[in-house]
Structure 1
């Protein structure tokens, strides 16, 4: 397929849209700590509100008919409460900027490791160099953000690293299994809503009753609809059209996007270390993203 084919253009456009979505998610998650909502509430928004839209579509299209049970179980698990509660717990200990750094900044490296270990594919020198530049920029951003964080930030960073493993598995499997939009909605929202919401309602602590209306609506709308519906569907589409390698490299721009939005929206300062790290990140992305469409998986 040619370099400028419509599907490739749409794939790259989808991936850069995800960068914007997840960069804003970092900002929204930063302000969630002062809303009075618990991490269990945020997870309930993520699955429950998305399921309101997904359930009628799933009942009509019946996506489970074209999936094996193992696929339903695995995809539902990697997109489920274990993953998202680990990530939200990370925000308790570490700055929200670390979420983008460790969950997205390390995706290129994980993609290369997967290609070497599972697919037995040797990465290109340009890819390795680009991944190294991205990794250096992520470490620099993390070190810079850590200067104003607590001594327990490493606990949050560990949570984010675990979240990155889950997220990488989703990016890879969505390409390998050619998951459709309705299949993702079924596993990522309907199945998990059915499993999680009763547990949340009966046993988990909630701050919804005491939360101010404005922050409540912001978290409900963004956490409930944007990342879990728009984000996951765009990632699956991008992985199928431009490959999980290109998708992972472009998503590594999220830490930079979060830093820029933090400066523009929250008035945070970008010092020379952050600016240099963003330059390295940009160079790594330009060097690593392949123009040709990756070969179809065997």
Structure 2
């Protein structure tokens, strides 16, 4: 191909790439909740437990990302024999793999899917993506040295109010003696650990593909062998080995390939362009969209609070994504911010 024809090819601007990554991430996260709600509910014919789904998720992602990580490490070790970690499967150092993988992979998955044992998915749609902006804002202040401007604070208030409108009615029964509060706590922990991962990606300026591979490698090497043994010796009521492939394979494809591989990469790209706070404010669209999608695809009722909540979240995002909303307060913070944007 000639230089002239190569230069004639359309080139996406960094802003376009960031916006495309945001759209893909929000869509996948939205349908992740709807799909999990549909398939994990025994009343809808679901055969797999939440822990089975997490197991299938890791296999689906691992079949793609572990060979990918092995290839990246082999390439890197041609110039640096010490590159990579975890048997040459993670392209990040052991320290960075543990920091990112424990929060963004292992703990997030364990907390999120464990929460479905005690609380309905409606709680998850509010407490996981809905509380991300709050956790990430607090962590960004403490870790990255960032400060929240007035417009960003207004955006956060609108997002919190919108999320409460979407899920407040169901959360009122969290302490009615049914044990639902345990799931709510687990969902909040999942949200917090994902916020830790978001800020870690920004602070360490981790590349999107390598970070996604690293968290999958750690989760796969820790969770898959332990859960396999527990199911085989019947210490946990897993059905992943007895359920038909028609139930397991879609989970591997959507939960693994889609939710981990595709959205994992696009989420990291979004963080590098928008920063962790604005990124998690964008994902605050997920609670309202997942509730509306559940009404369309699962027949759940669409009430006034869903529409009002989505409107408030959208308004909060309009305040939150303004360019001047966050300013670093120190030279070190500025170096971290600009370095992460790459």
| TM-score, with length taken from structure 1 | 0.90
Partner of residue 40 from structure 1, selected from 38, 44, 51: 51
- Contact persistence 1:58–1:182 (CA under 8 A): no
| CA distance in 2 between partners of 1:11 and 1:31 (Å) | 30
- Contact persistence 1:108–1:245 (CA under 8 A): yes
Partner of residue 250 from structure 2, selected from 201, 207, 218: 218
Match of 2:279 in 1: 247
Find out whether 1:89 has 2:114 as its counterpart.
Answer: yes
| CA distance in 1 between partners of 2:172 and 2:299 (Å) | 17
Tell me by how many angstroms 1:153 deviates.
Answer: 2.5
Find out whether 1:28 has 2:35 as its counterpart.
Answer: yes
- Contact persistence 2:50–2:116 (CA under 8 A): no
Tell me by how many angstroms 1:290 deviates.
Answer: 1.9
CA deviations 1:117-175 (Å, max 9, x no partner) are: 23343311110011001011112212133478874332211111000111101111112
| 1:58 alignment partner, SS class | helix
| CA distance in 1 between partners of 2:304 and 2:325 (Å) | 36
| CA distance in 2 between partners of 1:59 and 1:156 (Å) | 36
| 1:122 alignment partner, SS class | strand
| CA distance in 2 between partners of 1:123 and 1:27 (Å) | 32
Tell me by how many angstroms 1:209 deviates.
Answer: 4.0
Structure 1 pair 81/69, CA: closer, same or farther in 2 (3 Å)? closer
- Contact persistence 1:103–1:161 (CA under 8 A): yes
Worse-matched range after superposition: 74-83 or 123-132: 74-83
Match of 2:130 in 1: 105
Partner of residue 57 from structure 1, selected from 44, 54, 68: 68
Worse-matched range after superposition: 274-283 or 205-214: 205-214
Structure 1 pair 110/51, CA: closer, same or farther in 2 (3 Å)? same
Tell me by how many angstroms 1:101 deviates.
Answer: 1.2
Structure 1 pair 185/287, CA: closer, same or farther in 2 (3 Å)? closer
Find out whether 1:80 has 2:105 as its counterpart.
Answer: yes
Worse-matched range after superposition: 147-156 or 201-210: 147-156
CA deviations 1:170-196 (Å, max 9, x no partner) are: 111112212223422431222321222
Match of 1:297 in 2: 336
Tell me by how many angstroms 1:36 deviates.
Answer: 2.0
Unaligned runs of 5+ in 2: 1-11, 77-82, 85-90, 327-333, 338-342
Partner of residue 13 from structure 2, selected from 6, 12, 16: 6
| 1:135 alignment partner, SS class | helix
- Contact persistence 1:48–1:189 (CA under 8 A): no
Find out whether 1:279 has 2:311 as its counterpart.
Answer: yes
Tell me by how many angstroms 1:68 deviates.
Answer: 3.5
Worse-matched range after superposition: 50-59 or 244-253: 50-59
Tell me by how many angstroms 1:79 deviates.
Answer: 2.9
- Contact persistence 2:106–2:215 (CA under 8 A): no
| CA distance in 2 between partners of 1:86 and 1:230 (Å) | 21
Tell me by how many angstroms 1:57 deviates.
Answer: 1.6
Tell me by how many angstroms 1:292 deviates.
Answer: 5.9
| TM-score, with length taken from structure 2 | 0.79
Worse-matched range after superposition: 65-74 or 35-44: 65-74
Find out whether 1:230 has 2:262 as its counterpart.
Answer: yes
